[in-house]
Amino acid sequence: MKISLAEINSKVGDLKYNANLIKKHADIANKNGAEILVTPELSLCGYPPEDLLLEKEFIDRCHYYLIEIAEKFPKIKIIVGHPRRKNKLLYNSISLLYRGKINKVYDKQELPNYGVFDEKRYFSPGKKPGIFKHKGKIFGLLICEDIWEMGPLEELNKLNVEYVICVNASPYEFNKTKNKFNIIQNRLNKLNDLNLIYLNSVGGQDELLFDGNSFITKPKKHNVNNLTFFSGQFISQNIIADFSKKDHIKITRKCEKFPFHRKILEDPIDQRDSLNKERYLIYNLLNGLLLAMKDYVEKNSIKKLFLGLSGGIDSAVVLFIASKIVSKENLTAIMMPSKFTSKASKDDAKKLSSNLGVNYKIIPIQKHIKIFEATFKNDFKGLGKGIAEQNIQARIRGMILMAYANKFNGMVLATGNKSEMAVGYSTIYGDMVGGFSILKDVPKTMVYKIANEINYKEIIIPQRIIDREPSAELTENQIDKDSLPSYEILDKIIDLHIEKNYSQKELIKFGFSRKLVQKVVRLVKTSEFKRRQSAPGPKITSKAFGKDRRYPITNKFQL
Which helix (DSSP H) or strand (DSSP E) does residue 489 occupy? helix 487-494
CA distance 235 to 238: 10
Strands (E), 40-88: 77-86
CB 252 within 8 A of CB 240: yes
SS3 299: helix
User: String of b and e for 387-417 (b: at least 16 CB within 10 Å)?
Assistant: eebbbbbbbbbbebbbebbeeeebbbbbbbb
Q: At what angle do helices 387-407 and 366-375 cross, to 10 degrees?
A: 120
Which helix (DSSP H) or strand (DSSP E) does residue 366 occupy? helix 366-375
Alpha helices in 455-486 (DSSP H): 463-467
In which order are the strands placed within the sheet that holds 359-362?
Answer: 359-362, 331-335, 305-308, 411-414, 436-437
CA distance 68 to 53: 20
Q: Are strands 248-254 and 163-168 parallel, antiparallel or unpaired?
A: unpaired
Residue 279: name the closest of 419, 451, 443 by CA.
451
- Written as one letter, the residue type at 484 is L
346 catalytic per annotation: no
SS3 readout for 498-549:
HHCCCCHHHHHHCCCCHHHHHHHHHHHHHCHHHHHCCCCCCCCCCCCECCCE
Marked catalytic residue, from 77, 108, 299, 543: 108
SS3 554: coil
Burial of 554 (0-12, 13-18, 19+ CB in 10 A): exposed
Alpha helices in 73-176 (DSSP H): 152-158
SS3 readout for 242-290:
EEEECCEEEEEEECCCCCCCCCCCCCCCCCCCHHHHHHHHHHHHHHHHH
SS3 210: strand
Taken as a whole, the chain contains a residue count of 559
Residue 324: name the closest of 395, 236, 413 by CA.
413
Output the CA angle 200-204-209, nearest 5 degrees.
60
Marked catalytic residue, from 7, 41, 110, 145: 41
Which helix (DSSP H) or strand (DSSP E) does residue 354 occupy? helix 343-356
- Written as one letter, the residue type at 17 is Y
Marked catalytic residue, from 11, 144, 173, 473: 144
41 catalytic per annotation: yes
DSSP 442: -
3-class SS shares of the chain: helix, strand, coil, % to 5: 40, 20, 40
108 catalytic per annotation: yes
- Written as one letter, the residue type at 125 is P
Catalytic residues: 41, 108, 144
